[in-house]
Structure formats: structure tokens, C-alpha cells
Structure 1
């Protein structure tokens, strides 16, 4: 990711924070719509899960300026997701749901540059997490 892309992700996420509860609902609704098979992995309180999602996204977005600082947490999260039943092929679906949610939430603020920046961020992190969890970054392709 370029420094400009990091800045775009951080600036656009700042606009999502005020609607974070709504954004999380939209995200999970979309995820379960496009990948209904993953819904059984979410057995707990979805309000808690939505809060965890937004907290994690906030930490990742903040850490993009120093990506090495978030890699240990990303590795631990990836390994934990395996125990929940997550597979490498789920990562692109989650990414699609996330980008769709951001597009809806940001409206006119979802420019091609912002879309490219978020795509780069998600691709970078998901590739790392897949590698950590499954040992092969190409597994999601």
C-alpha cells in the first residue's frame, strides 16, 4: 500500500465510525446473503460480534501507517478463525461484503481511488492472514 492509500483508508473509515453499528449490520446482512454457508459459524450474540468487527477494523485502519505493528494480532486472529471453521476461500467473500458495505456507507465518498485503497488494504491483510493460517497465500484464489 502506498502512503496515499493508507491516508484514503483512514480518512474514509473516519466517516464510517459514526455509523459503525449500522455499517456492521449491513456487513453481516450482506455476508450472509452472498455466503449463507458461513452463518452457522456465528453462534454468539451478533451485537457483540458486530462490535468486535468494528473494533478490529478500527485497529487495523489505525495500524496501516505501521503495518508491522498489527501483523501479530492479524496472525493470531487468522489462526483463531480456523478454529471457528473459516477457510481460505471465505476471505474473498468477506472482502466483497466489506467493500460493498463501505460503498453503501460512504455513498459519494466511495471514489475509485478509495475503492482501490480499500482493496489494497484488504488484499494485503487477507493475504497475510491466509498465509499465517494455511501456509499458502494463493489458497484464496
Structure 2
């Protein structure tokens, strides 16, 4: 991730967090529409799950300059996801749904550069999560 990408992600997130709960619910609605098989992995209330997702994304966005500070937490999150039944191949569809949600939420502010910035963030974190999940499985 470049410094410019970090700035773009942080600035755009301030617009999304205004409607964080709505964004989280929109994300899960899209995820369950695109990949209905993953719905069975979610045992908690969807509103609660949406809140947790938005809180985690907010934490990540605030730590983009210091991702090493949260990598242990990311690894633990990955391990929990593995216990819930998440598989490495699920991360691609989750990323696609996250980008779709951001595009919906940001409307005209969404552009190619912003998409690339959020993609870089997601790929960094999803790679770390997959690695953490595979370490436990090995």
C-alpha cells in the first residue's frame, strides 16, 4: 500500500462510517445473495455481525500506517473464522462484496483510484488472514 492509498482509504471511510450499520447490513445482504452457501457460517444476528464488521474495518483503517500493531489480532480473527468454517477461497467473494458495498455507499465519490486503494488494503489483510488460518490447519 502506498501513502496515497492509505489517505484515500481513510478519507473515504469517514463517509462510510456515517452509515456504518447500513453499510454492514448491505455487505451481508450482498454476500448472502452472491454466495448463499456461506450464510450457514453465520450463527449470530446479522445486525450484530454487521456492527462487528464495521468496527473491525474501522480499526484497520485507523491502523493502516501501523498494521504490524494489529497483525496478531488479525491472525486471531482468522483463526476464529477458520473454526466457524471459513475457507481461504471465501476471501475472494468477501473482498468483492466489500468493494461493491463501498461503491454503493460512496456513490459518485467511488472511482478507479479508490477501488485500487481499497483492493490493496483488502489484499494485504486477506493474505494475512489466509496465512494465519493455514498456520493453524497445518
- TM exceeding 0.5: yes
Q: Equivalents in 2 of 1:40, 1:104: separation in Å?
A: 25
SS of the equivalent of 2:43 reads coil
Equivalent residue, structure 1, for 2:60: 60
Gaps of 5+ in 1: 136-141
TM, length-normalised to structure 2: 0.95
- Count of aligned pairs: 135
Q: Deviation string for 1:35-74 (max 9, x for gaps)?
A: 0000011111111111101100100111111111111110
Q: Does 1:119 align with 2:119?
A: yes
TM, length-normalised to structure 1: 0.93
Equivalent residue, structure 2, for 1:129: 129
Q: Equivalents in 2 of 1:124, 1:16: separation in Å?
A: 20
Gaps of 5+ in 2: none
- The 5 Å alignment of 1:78-93 reads 78-93=78-93
What displacement does 1:21 show? Answer: 1.1
What displacement does 1:7 show? Answer: 0.7
What displacement does 1:29 show? Answer: 0.5
Q: Equivalents in 2 of 1:88, 1:55: separation in Å?
A: 22
SS of the equivalent of 1:88 reads coil
Q: Deviation string for 1:53-108 (max 9, x for gaps)?
A: 11001001111111111111100000110000000000000000000000000001
Q: CA RMSD in A?
A: 0.7
Q: Equivalents in 1 of 2:110, 2:67: separation in Å?
A: 23
SS of the equivalent of 1:43 reads coil
SS of the equivalent of 2:63 reads helix
Q: Deviation string for 1:15-43 (max 9, x for gaps)?
A: 00111111111100100011000001111
